[in-house]
A = this chain, B = another copy of it.
């Protein structure tokens, strides 16, 4: 079995893909499902999200997302896991669009057989699920920030890689070696996320609570999983797995 870590989304995934955007899209996605959401629709743009709601006015879709860390006009929620964890989404579908994470999921879905969303908060469950369904390769795909590598995503990939290596035999690539080195030498999760440029930027926007929330390790067993038949145009439908 191959373990591959892409420090930025690359494409050409033959098997299982775990998309990682710790600050904050995949952390928030896990929080929505923890708080009872039926499904998440990850769109390729804010416009697709707004059109989805106007085309389905009766369905009570909620919109969550950000651009540059800030809320999107017309959306109900930012991209905050703390905000998500404080609400009840039972029976609701949340449409998500974010700067980096939702795009990475779309890149992954172009070729991958199984697409999961991973964060530090669900890292152990995500690794276990990936190991159970993979037949040839597990790709850990770091979303990054504006096409630049993000330390927090690489660190989380290292956490996932460490779990996976404890579960079985893998051949690993340079990306995995780098991620494992970061995991083992960049401190604990709160130290790693605090040292990352995007962590500092969120703190400067008053969103330091989100950074601390995202640094929790394996506190959830929910793994957002791309549903086989994506029945919504321009959006990927993830459900609790």
Contacts and interface: CB of A to CB of B under 8 A. Distances in A.
Interface of A: 6-8, 10, 145, 147-151, 154, 173-175, 177-178, 181-182, 184-186, 195-198
Contacts of A182: 178, 181
11 contacts: A7-B149, A8-B8, A145-B174, A148-B175, A151-B174, A154-B178, A173-B197, A174-B196, A177-B195, A177-B196, A178-B182
Nearest to A177: B151
Contact of A151 (B8, B149, B151, B178): B178
Contacts of A154: 174, 178
Given A173-B197, A177-B196, A178-B182, 10 more contacts: A7-B7, A8-B8, A10-B147, A10-B148, A148-B174, A150-B174, A177-B195, A178-B178, A181-B185, A181-B186
Contacts of A10: 147-148
A108 B6 CA distance: 22
A60 B147 CA distance: 42
Contact of A181 (B147, B175, B181): B181
Q: Which 3 A-B pairs have the closest CB atoms?
A: A151-B174, A185-B185, A7-B149
A88 to B, nearest CB: 35
A174 B149 contact: yes
A184 B154 CA distance: 17
A195 to B, nearest CB: 6
B148 A6 contact: yes
Contact of A175 (B149, B174, B184, B198): B149
A198 B175 CA distance: 12
Candidate in A7, A145, A151, A174 with the most chain B CB atoms within 10 angstroms: A174
Contacts of A8: 7-8
Nearest to A145: B174
